A and B are shown apart, each in its own frame.
Chain A
Amino acid sequence: MSDILSMTAVAARQALDNKTISAVELTEAYIKAADDTADNNAYVLRTSDKAMEMAKASDKRLAKGEAGLLEGIPIGIKDMFCTQGVETTASSAILKGFVPPYESTVTENLWQDGAVMLGKINCDEFAMGSANETSAFGAVTNPWTASEGPLQGKALTPGGSSGGSAAAMAARSTLLAPGTDTGGSIRQPAAFCGLVGMKPTYGRCSRRGIVAFASSLDQAGPITRDVADCALMMTSMASYDSGDSTSIDAPLPDLMDAFATAKNAGIKGMRIGIPDEYTVDGMPDQIASLWETGRKWLEDAGAVCVPVSLPHTQYALPAYYIIAPAEASSNLARYDGVRYGLRVDGASLDDMYAKTRGAGFGDEVKRRILIGTYVLSAGYYDAYYIKAQKIRRLIQNDFTNVFADVDALLTPSTPSSAFALGDESKDPLSMFLNDVFTVPANLAGIPAISVPAGLSSDGLPLGLQLIAPSLREDTLIKGAAILESAAGFDHVASGAAS
Chain B
Amino acid sequence: MTENNSEQHAIDTSTIQKIARLARMEIQPEREQALCGELSTIISWIEQLGECDTANVEPLASVTGHSLPMRDDVVTAGNEPEAVLSNAPEEASHFFVVPKVIE
Do A245 and B42 form a contact, CB below 8 Å, given A349-B101, A350-B24, A357-B26?
A: no
Do B52 and A394 touch (CB < 8 A)? yes
In the bound complex, residues from chain A placing their C-beta under 8 Å from that of B41 are: 428-429
Do A202 and B64 touch (CB < 8 A)? yes
Do B98 and A391 touch (CB < 8 A)? no
Do B60 and A387 touch (CB < 8 A)? no
**Chain A CB within 8 A of B10 CB:** no
B interface secondary structure, majority: loop
Do A361 and B25 touch (CB < 8 A)? yes
Question: Which of B11, B28, B61 lies at the interface centre, i.e. has the most chain A CB atoms within 10 A of its CB?
Answer: B61
Do A377 and B22 touch (CB < 8 A)? yes
Do B25 and A358 touch (CB < 8 A)? yes
In the bound complex, residues from chain A placing their C-beta under 8 Å from that of B1 are: 383-384, 387
Do B42 and A371 touch (CB < 8 A)? yes
Q: Select from chain B the residue with minimum beta-carbon distance to A312.
A: B52
- Segment 323-382 of A: residues with Cβ below 8 Å from B: 329, 333, 336-343, 345-355, 357-359, 361, 363, 366-367, 369-371, 373-374, 377
The contact of B46 among A245, A318, A349, by CB within 8 Å, is A318
Do B63 and A377 touch (CB < 8 A)? no
**Chain B CB within 8 A of A392 CB:** yes
**Chain B CB within 8 A of A154 CB:** no
Of the listed stretches A32-40, A95-103, A285-293, chain B binds A95-103
The contact of A318 among B16, B28, B45, by CB within 8 Å, is B45
Do A389 and B61 touch (CB < 8 A)? yes
**Chain B CB within 8 A of A203 CB:** yes
**Chain A CB within 8 A of B57 CB:** yes
In the bound complex, residues from chain A placing their C-beta under 8 Å from that of B50 are: 387
Q: How far is the CA of A386 from the CA of B55 in the complex (A)?
A: 12
In the bound complex, residues from chain B placing their C-beta under 8 Å from that of A321 are: 42, 45-46
**Chain A CB within 8 A of B79 CB:** no
The contact of B86 among A101, A242, A315, A384, by CB within 8 Å, is A101
**Chain B CB within 8 A of A388 CB:** yes
**Chain A CB within 8 A of B78 CB:** no
In the bound complex, residues from chain B placing their C-beta under 8 Å from that of A361 are: 25
Do B59 and A386 touch (CB < 8 A)? yes
In the bound complex, residues from chain A placing their C-beta under 8 Å from that of B23 are: 329, 333, 357, 369-370, 373
In the bound complex, residues from chain B placing their C-beta under 8 Å from that of A349 are: 98-99, 101
Do A389 and B26 touch (CB < 8 A)? no
| CB 8 Å contact bits of B46-86 with A (1 = contact, 0 = none) | 10111010100111111110001101000000001001101
| CB 8 Å contact bits of A222-239 with B (1 = contact, 0 = none) | 000000000000000000
A: interface residue count bin: 35 or more
Do A341 and B89 form a contact, CB below 8 Å, given A358-B28, A369-B23, A374-B19?
A: yes
Do A370 and B35 touch (CB < 8 A)? yes
Do B90 and A355 touch (CB < 8 A)? no
**Chain B CB within 8 A of A216 CB:** yes
- Kindly provide the distance from the CB of B27 to the nearest chain A CB, expressed in whole angstroms: 7
Do B49 and A315 touch (CB < 8 A)? yes
Question: Which of A341, A342, A374 lies at the interface centre, i.e. has the most chain B CB atoms within 10 A of its CB?
Answer: A374
- Kindly provide the distance from the CB of B53 to the nearest chain A CB, expressed in whole angstroms: 9
Do A352 and B98 touch (CB < 8 A)? yes
In the bound complex, residues from chain B placing their C-beta under 8 Å from that of A348 are: 99, 101
In the bound complex, residues from chain A placing their C-beta under 8 Å from that of B71 are: 242
**Chain B CB within 8 A of A390 CB:** yes
In the bound complex, residues from chain B placing their C-beta under 8 Å from that of A216 are: 61-63
Do B28 and A370 touch (CB < 8 A)? no
Q: How far is the CA of A340 from the CA of B90 in the complex (A)?
A: 9
Do A370 and B16 form a contact, CB below 8 Å, given A97-B87, A393-B59?
A: yes
Do B26 and A338 touch (CB < 8 A)? no
Do A367 and B99 touch (CB < 8 A)? no
- Kindly provide the distance from the CB of B19 to the nearest chain A CB, expressed in whole angstroms: 5
Q: Select from chain A the residue with minimum beta-carbon distance to B54.
A: A390
Q: How far is the CA of A423 from the CA of B20 in the complex (A)?
A: 28
**Chain B CB within 8 A of A396 CB:** yes
Q: Select from chain B the residue with minimum beta-carbon distance to A242.
A: B71
In the bound complex, residues from chain B placing their C-beta under 8 Å from that of A248 are: 64
Do A392 and B60 form a contact, CB below 8 Å, given A358-B25, A374-B39, A387-B54?
A: yes
**Chain B CB within 8 A of A445 CB:** yes
Q: How far is the CA of A341 from the CA of B89 in the complex (A)?
A: 7
- Kindly provide the distance from the CB of A208 to the nearest chain B CB, expressed in whole angstroms: 12
Beyond known contacts A374-B43, A394-B54: 15 more, CB 8 A cutoff:
A101-B84, A101-B86, A245-B68, A318-B45, A350-B24, A353-B24, A357-B26, A367-B35, A370-B16, A370-B25, A374-B19, A391-B54, A394-B57, A429-B41, A445-B64
User: Which are the 3 A-B pairs with shortest beta-carbon distances?
Assistant: A358-B26, A445-B63, A389-B59
Could you show 10 A-B contacts with beta carbons less than 8 Å apart? A318-B46, A321-B46, A338-B88, A338-B96, A354-B20, A369-B23, A370-B16, A394-B57, A428-B42, A429-B41
